[in-house]
A and B are shown apart, each in its own frame.
Chain A
Amino acid sequence: MTATRTRLRRTAPSSPLGDLARTARIIVCCGSGGVGKTSTAAAVALWAAEAGRRTCVLTIDPARRLAQALGLDLLANSPHPVRLDGLGNGPGSLDAMMLDMRRTFDEVIERYARDPDQADRILANRFYQRLSSTLAGTQEYMAMEKLYELHESQRYDLLVVDTPPTRSALDFLDAPDNLNELLDARAFRLLIAPAQRIGRGYLRGLNLATTAMTKMVRRVTGSELLAEVGEFFAAFEGMYDGFKERAGLVYDQLKHPSTAFVVVATPEGPALREAAYLAGRLAADRMPLGALVVNRIHRAGSVPRVPAAARAKLAAAGADGRLLADLLELHDSLETLAAAEQRRVRDLLETVPNLGVVQVPLLPDDVHDVAGLRRLGGHLFA
């Protein structure tokens, strides 16, 4: 990947996103909140659709931003075609969906349950209901689960997914492990079971502690909770292995070279720091890092320096003179801002060698329709 990208950058000044949108099977957009991830994901998907690929964009955002960006009123938990003018009879198409995390979790339970009765018992369990809507990372994991399901269906050439702005934008990488650990009833039983049911020897020390743990949890949380938890794990019996296998497949697909992670940021300190952290973390997990998109870049035009003496004269020389002095000051602040942004972007790139970068200028209008996405695409793929 890295070698190809470097070569491309030398021979053609074209955007690193063009290559990804033409060849990748999955593009995951990540970054902190408010950096334009949803619009970027939608614009990439639209561009790929217009380049002839069957494309689907998934968003997880509860604020229905993609719905707004695509001019849709409602997104169900399954892909929904986006009507586009100008695709004609070409092979490309664009679908969009907004993930309903809870529904996805329910679907997963239904898929792996032995029979409808087992599924019903789990779905009705209060511990499950809390788990599926509150456990940190569950949303991210369900997004990846849905992504994998769509990928497996082979209905699409390209899936573009927009990750949620979480406490840690990387929860989705940890989520399968967290969920697996949690759902591993064997591990749970080890902690909660009465001492005599677990083996002897080196486990004994742990046993004494865990039995006391059980008492503690009862005391701190009240015993009804534990009863619910116990019922949940009893109902979950036999489903764990399928679940774990699936999580492994999802993780492997994310690592596959046909997947590309696109880190999205704005040129502000916190967003770039988050991007650097994210890029480092993706590299550590050997996830395929595709490109960095920096949205809302300020640019100043070229204007010769005007010395202070001339500025003072301007300020004292009538309305147009004062106006010109103000215009110069405005230009100075724009230049300062643009230079600070470029410095911050360069600092980030030093920490992530060989990363293709796309800088998108601050656009005069918010992106809220297909035309806006096309304009954004024009900058992303320039």
Chain B
Amino acid sequence: MLEALDRARLVVVTGKGGTGKTTVAAGLAVAAAGRGRRVLVAEVEGRQGLAGLFGREALDHREARVADGVSALAVDPDESLREYLERFGFGPLARLLSWAHLNRFITAAAPGLGDVLLVGKVWEASTRDGPRGRPAYDLVVLDAPPTGRVVPFLRAPETVAELARVGPIRGQADRVRDLLDDPGRTAVVLTCLPEELPVTETLEGVAALRGAGLPVGGVVANRVTGDRLGGRAGRLAALGRDPAPLAEAAAKAGAELDHGALATLVGEARDRQRQVARERRLLKELRAGLDGLPVVELPFLAGGVGGPDEVRALAAHLVPDPGDARPAGRARRAAGATRG
């Protein structure tokens, strides 16, 4: 799908709360690493959502290798402030005061500075040089705040810089803006669910991001119900009225299923089909509203997304040709095993 996985230097993942932003960010990181890129995935909301997905207890402010080709980082606002002050030569002073004091003061003097520091840290990681003149990472995936907050978050450096027309904050804000506004280097990906309100919010979110001049790379529709009964709706409806043929098949195979049990099974299947039909309709509306932006669907996993196996399974759905990379091949088998 996402051309961005092969090309972008920074992928910003946002979406309505509860649509699986963190999971998709982890999946995108693993998918890109599977295509040979060196990836850093970073979360900024202090929820420690990434750690479990990579089988870790917790992540901290230091970048840590969590999978083949993937490092992860939980950006800590306090630590970012510390680094920021060190960089500008205020380390000794910062150590003199309590952090609580300092934080309160900085927050009072420049609201939004917290976001500036978080965005700044991500910018720093994605532009940092590594050994032999190569960048430290080919791609940084940012698990960003939800749709409603993402534009002010990404534009925080601008906002604060408006108040400070000169000085280091202004300089950094300009460089961050150059990266974020460049469709050649940055892509914002929105996560969505095949439900009414998330679809509406995704369309609003895309409009808001575009309105702010941020490059939108695509949408990931998460938790899409599998359609294993496709094409047999008519037969199911008939069996709902008269389950006798099913009873006959059951009896022949030695399965002890009375009419009540068969009615339950048919009822569950028809609920499932209604669900699938509704999701199809909503995804069609989503695509229609997105005007050609790529939409990738991820399957609903009945067991939930608890760790690295499921993340690999989802990553396999995010890459254009899942056959060509080893992790993706492994993931496909895992997807077959766990898909609900």
Taking beta carbons and an 8 Å cutoff, which residues of A are in contact with B?
32-35, 61-63, 65, 68, 126-127, 130-131, 133-136, 164-165, 167-168, 181-182, 188, 191, 209-210, 212-213, 216-217, 219-222, 224-226, 228-229, 266, 268-271, 300-304, 306-307, 309-311, 313-314, 317-321, 323-324, 326-331, 333-334, 336-337, 340, 364-366, 368
Which residues from A are CB-within-8-Å of B133?
none
A334 to B304, CA, bound (A): 12
Which residues from A are CB-within-8-Å of B232?
323
Interchain CB contact (< 8 A) of A222 among B159, B170, B255:
B170
Interchain CB contact (< 8 A) of A337 among B16, B254, B340:
B340
| B163 with A220: CB separation less than 8 A | no
| A313 with B90: CB separation less than 8 A | no
Q: Could you list some 19 contacts between A and B, CB below 8 A?
A: A32-B18, A34-B17, A34-B198, A62-B148, A133-B152, A135-B107, A167-B145, A191-B101, A212-B93, A217-B105, A222-B164, A222-B167, A229-B108, A314-B250, A330-B272, A333-B340, A334-B268, A364-B274, A365-B278
Contact-size category for B: 35 or more
A318 to B246, CA, bound (A): 11
User: Separation in Å of the A278 CB from the closest CB of chain B?
Assistant: 13
Interchain CB contact (< 8 A) of A270 among B49, B149, B198, B228:
B49
Which residues from B are CB-within-8-Å of A309?
254
| B148 with A221: CB separation less than 8 A | no
Known: A63-B148, A68-B200. A300 touches B45 (CB 8 A): no
| B90 with A216: CB separation less than 8 A | yes
Q: Which residue of B lies closest to A268 (CB)?
A: B304
Q: Is chain A's binding surface mostly helix, strand, loop or mixed?
A: helix
A307 to B255, CA, bound (A): 7
Known: A33-B18, A310-B253, A336-B302. A330 touches B165 (CB 8 A): no
A329 to B229, CA, bound (A): 11
Interchain CB contact (< 8 A) of A35 among B18, B152, B229, B249:
B18
B111 part of interface (Cβ distance < 8 Å): yes
| B167 with A182: CB separation less than 8 A | no
B67 part of interface (Cβ distance < 8 Å): no
B186 part of interface (Cβ distance < 8 Å): no
User: Separation in Å of the B278 CB from the closest CB of chain A?
Assistant: 8
Interchain CB contact (< 8 A) of A302 among B19, B104, B110, B264:
B264
| A301 with B267: CB separation less than 8 A | yes
Interchain CB contact (< 8 A) of B18 among A271, A337, A366:
A271
Interchain CB contact (< 8 A) of B249 among A167, A212, A229, A318:
A318
Q: Which residue of B lies closest to A216 (CB)?
A: B90
Interchain CB contact (< 8 A) of B46 among A131, A167, A226, A324:
A167
Contact with A along B242-281 (1 / 0, CB 8 A): 0001101110111111000110111111011011001000
Which residues from B are CB-within-8-Å of A131?
111
